[in-house]
């Protein structure tokens, strides 16, 4: 089977030759993997081929002006939404953390006039060419940040204020949310149109859980989130492609709604979180949702030996593979504290043990 055939058959719960494989990693472990395989620092395609990854993502590149200036004196980067981040070191690497929260106390007028990227400032002319280049693979567009209402609002208004916005129907907060969603909706619509049938899967995201339970109530999800997500799902349906949604933490409480909404696959599947074990997911939703993830980035891959990593991956495959509908992937980006040999063993196990 080609990668495209393998993934699409898996999403449809049809017979396949082996589990599809996907990859996501932080920069530190990504660099070490490229070095391990003798690849150049910028050879991301070579790494995906070495790991037998079945997915490729395409996106329109931004060609407009930089809307907000960085703050070098404080080491702060500011993106085109006005979100501030600063680099935080840790023993195995680092990450860009959110800071300042420039719209935390903003009123409706301020947010109405806040600069945001325009869909006109993206280059869609090479989308079809990108799709042709990767035509043997499952070609996706979108990502975990679309629409990602909770996180994207928290990044610029603070998480505390975002949750207050949801609870109190705060007009200023929802003005930011809806302006941002409108921009992304138009970008995705133009991307799908430019692809001329070359895109196979729409990716979405919304982190709905903590490790121990829901981050918001089901009532709040249905009131504020479901209608806004549905716009993107209906857009994908218009173009005849399935939808996969990313959600960290304990999020299976929303899966029945996902099914009703027309979502095909769920991603992340952190097995440590409440009601997110492979056994629970397979028993409760198997055959009705496809699964993408379930290989913990906080488990043996990060903290165990090679043998423990292999055993862990085999156990997960033993639960998730029967009757199909499973795509092998880390629960989120592989972390920099993951030993290179463990990650290599993880992908070797998926390729060799994950055969039907």
pLDDT of residue 310: 98
Is the Cα dihedral 119, 124, 128, 130 positive or negative? negative
Average pLDDT over residues 58-74: 98
Kindly report the average pLDDT of the chain as a whole number: 98
Cα gap 350→269, rounded to integer Å = 17
The two tokens of residue 163 are: 């949750």
User: Rounded to an integer, what is the distance from CA 109 to the centroid of its chain?
Assistant: 32
DSSP letter string, 52-100: T--EEE--PEE-S---S--BGGGTEEE-TT--EEEEEEETTEEEEEEES
CATH 3.20.20.210 fits domain 3-66+103-353: yes
Residue with tokens 């009123």: 107
Q: How far apart are the first and last CA of the chain?
A: 12
Confidence of residue 217 (pLDDT cuts 50, 70, 90): very high
Prediction pTM value:
0.97
Confidence of residue 204 (pLDDT cuts 50, 70, 90): very high
pLDDT of residue 14: 97
Average pLDDT over residues 308-316: 98
Q: Which of 25-29, 88-92, 126-130, 174-178 has the lowest mean pLDDT?
A: 88-92
To 10 degrees, the CA torsion angle through 101, 188, 126, 33? 60
- pLDDT tens-digit profile of 234-291? 999 999 999 999 999 999 999 999 999 999 999 999 999 999 999 999 999 999 999 9
């Amino acid at each position: 089977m080609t990668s495209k055939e393998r993934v699409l058959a898996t999403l449809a719960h049809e017979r396949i030759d082996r589990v599809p494989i996907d990859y996501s990693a932080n920069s530190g472990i990504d660099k070490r993997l490229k070095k391990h395989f003798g690849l150049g620092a910028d050879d991301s395609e070579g790494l995906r081929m070495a790991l037998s990854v079945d997915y490729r993502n395409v996106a329109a590149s931004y060609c407009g002006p930089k809307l907000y200036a960085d703050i070098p004196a404080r080491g702060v980067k500011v993106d085109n939404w006005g979100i501030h981040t600063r680099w935080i070191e840790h023993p195995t690497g680092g990450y860009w953390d959110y800071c300042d929260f420039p719209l935390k106390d903003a009123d409706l007028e301020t947010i109405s006039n806040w600069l945001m990227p325009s869909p006109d400032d993206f280059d869609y002319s090479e989308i079809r060419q990108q799709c042709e280049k990767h035509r043997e693979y499952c070609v996706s567009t979108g990502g975990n940040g679309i629409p990602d209402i909770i996180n994207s609002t928290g990044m610029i208004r603070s998480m505390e204020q975002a949750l207050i916005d949801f609870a109190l129907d705060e007009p200023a907060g929802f003005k930011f949310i809806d302006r941002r969603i409108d921009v992304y909706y138009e970008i995705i619509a133009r991307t799908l149109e430019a692809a001329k049938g070359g895109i196979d899967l729409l990716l979405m995201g919304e982190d709905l859980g903590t490790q121990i339970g829901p981050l918001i109530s089901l009532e709040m999800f249905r009131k504020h989130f479901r209608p806004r997500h549905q716009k993107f799902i209906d857009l994908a349906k218009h173009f005849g492609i399935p939808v996969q949604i990313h959600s960290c933490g304990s999020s299976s409480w929303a899966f029945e709604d996902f099914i009703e909404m027309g979502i095909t696959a769920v991603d992340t599947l952190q097995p440590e979180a409440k009601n997110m074990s492979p056994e629970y997911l397979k028993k409760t939703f198997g055959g009705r949702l496809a699964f993408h993830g379930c290989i913990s980035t906080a488990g043996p891959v990060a903290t165990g030996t090679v043998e423990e990593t292999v055993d862990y991956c085999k156990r997960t495959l033993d639960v998730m593979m029967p009757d199909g509908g499973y795509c092998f992937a880390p629960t989120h980006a592989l972390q920099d504290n993951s030993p290179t040999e463990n990650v290599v063993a993880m992908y070797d196990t998926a390729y060799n043990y994950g055969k039907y």
